[in-house]
Amino acid sequence: MMKKIGITGQNGFVGSYLYNTLGLQPEKFERVDFDREFFDNPEKLDEFVGECDVIVHLAAMNRHSDPEVIYNNNVDLVKKLIVSLEKTNSKAHILFSSSSQEERDNLYGKSKKEGRELLADWAEKSGGKFTGMVIPNVFGPFGKPNYNSFIATFCHKLTHGETPVIDNDGEVKLIYVGELVQEIICKIQGEESNTLYEVPHTSVNKVSVVLQKLEDYKKLYFDNGEIPVLESKFDLNLFNTFRCYFDIKNHYPIKFTQHTDPRGAFVEVIRLGIGGQCSFSTTVPGITRGNHFHTRKIERFAVIKGKALIQLRKIDTDEVLDFYLDGNEPAYVDMPIWYTHNIKNIGEEELYTIFWINEPFNPEDADTYFVEV
C-alpha cells in the first residue's frame, strides 16, 4: 500500500536526504511537500497533517547564540504539530528525531527530550502511533559547515584553503546520513511503534583519526586526483562526503599530464588504492550518454579523443554545471554522489571516453537512477 509521507524540515540536512531517498521508490512512497511557513499558518499545517499517513518531524533549531531560543523554538514546533494533530483527528504515524544529547544538561537536549515526551503523551491519549528516535551524531554530504557536524566543517575547510582545528579530541559515535535514512524508512514501513528507539551508531572514531583520514583525502584526491584506499563502509561514506564539499564548478575538468615522444602520447588516467571497473566507450557525434545519478558509487569520466560536453546537476537543484573537454588536452571529471550526469559528443568525429567506477556493475543493485540533467 502506498504511504503518504510528510517531512517537517524537508529542506534540512537529514530531511532533504530522506526526501530524495523516498523519491527513489515512487511505487511505495508518495511525498507530501512541507514548507517551513506552515508552522506559522495553522490552516496550511492542518491541510498538511490531514494528508499524511506518516509524519517525520525533523524541523528543529540546532544552534543559536541564546540556548533559550533553541529550547523555546523546538518545544513550540512540537506543540504546534500536536494542536494540528488533535484538530484534524489525525491517525498518522509520527516519527520524531531526538538526539543523543537528551541526557546532557543542555537546553537543546532538553528541548528534544521534552518534545519526544509531549508526542508520546499525544499518542497515548489519541490512540495514535508514535516513534521517538534517539539519534547519534550524523554526518554526510551537503551538511552545513559549523552547523550540522564537525565533519562538514573539516571537509569545507580542507577544500577551501583553511586549516581545521580540533576543539575536543573525544571518541564520537557516528552514523552516516544514508544509514540513518534507511533506519527511518524501516520504521516507516514497520507496523509497530515504540516511544523510545535508540538508533545504533555505525562507527566510533576519535576526532583526530577522522581528521587524519580527511587530510589524506585532501592530499591524495583533492590535490592529485588519486582515489585513496577505502577499507571500510565508514571510509567510503566519509570519502563520498568529502567529495561533496569541493567547489565543483571550478574544480573540473582536471587536465591530465601528457607525456609525448616520437611514438605518440602516454597519459595516466587514474591511480587507485581501491580497485573497481574500468571501461571505455565510443560515442558518435550528437549522441548523449548517461542522465543518471548514483548514491554511493565513485566515478570518473576521462575524455581522450574528440570533443565532449559533460554536464552535472545536483538532483534537487536547478543549476547545471557544464564542462567542455577535448581529447587534444585529455582531462577528467569525477561524479559526486546525488549529482545526475551525462556526456555528449559535441564534435565532428567519434568521441572516446574512459570510464572508471569503484564497483563492478551489478544489475541486482545497480545504484543507478535515471534523471535528465
Domains in the chain with CATH codes: 3-141+175-202 (3.40.50.720), 258-370 (2.60.120.10)
Lowest mean pLDDT among 109-123, 278-292, 326-340: 109-123
Within 8 A by CB and 6+ apart from 219, the residues are none
Q: Which of 121, 54, 359, 318 is nearest to 233 (CA)?
A: 359
pLDDT value of position 122: 93
Distance CA 109, CA 324 (A): 49
Percent with pLDDT over 90 in the chain:
82
Mean pLDDT of 163-183: 96
Residue 23 has pLDDT above 80, yes or no: yes
Query: Which pLDDT value is given to residue 64?
Result: 77
Stated as kind and residue range, the H or E segment containing 11 is: none
| pLDDT of 67 above 90 | no
Q: Which one is predicted more confidently, 310 or 66?
A: 310
Strands 288-293 vs 369-370: parallel, antiparallel or unpaired = antiparallel
Look at residue 299 in the predicted model and tell me its pLDDT: 97
Tens of pLDDT, residues 192-218: 777 789 999 999 999 999 999 999 999
More confident residue, 104 or 135: 135
C-alpha cell, 316: 534537487
Average pLDDT over residues 107-136: 89
Backbone angles phi, psi at 257, to 5 degrees: -85, 120
State the pLDDT confidence band at 90, using cuts at 50, 70 and 90.
very high
Per-residue confidence band for 315, with pLDDT thresholds at 50, 70 and 90: very high
pLDDT at 143: 93
pTM, entire model: 0.93
Amino acid letter, 309: L
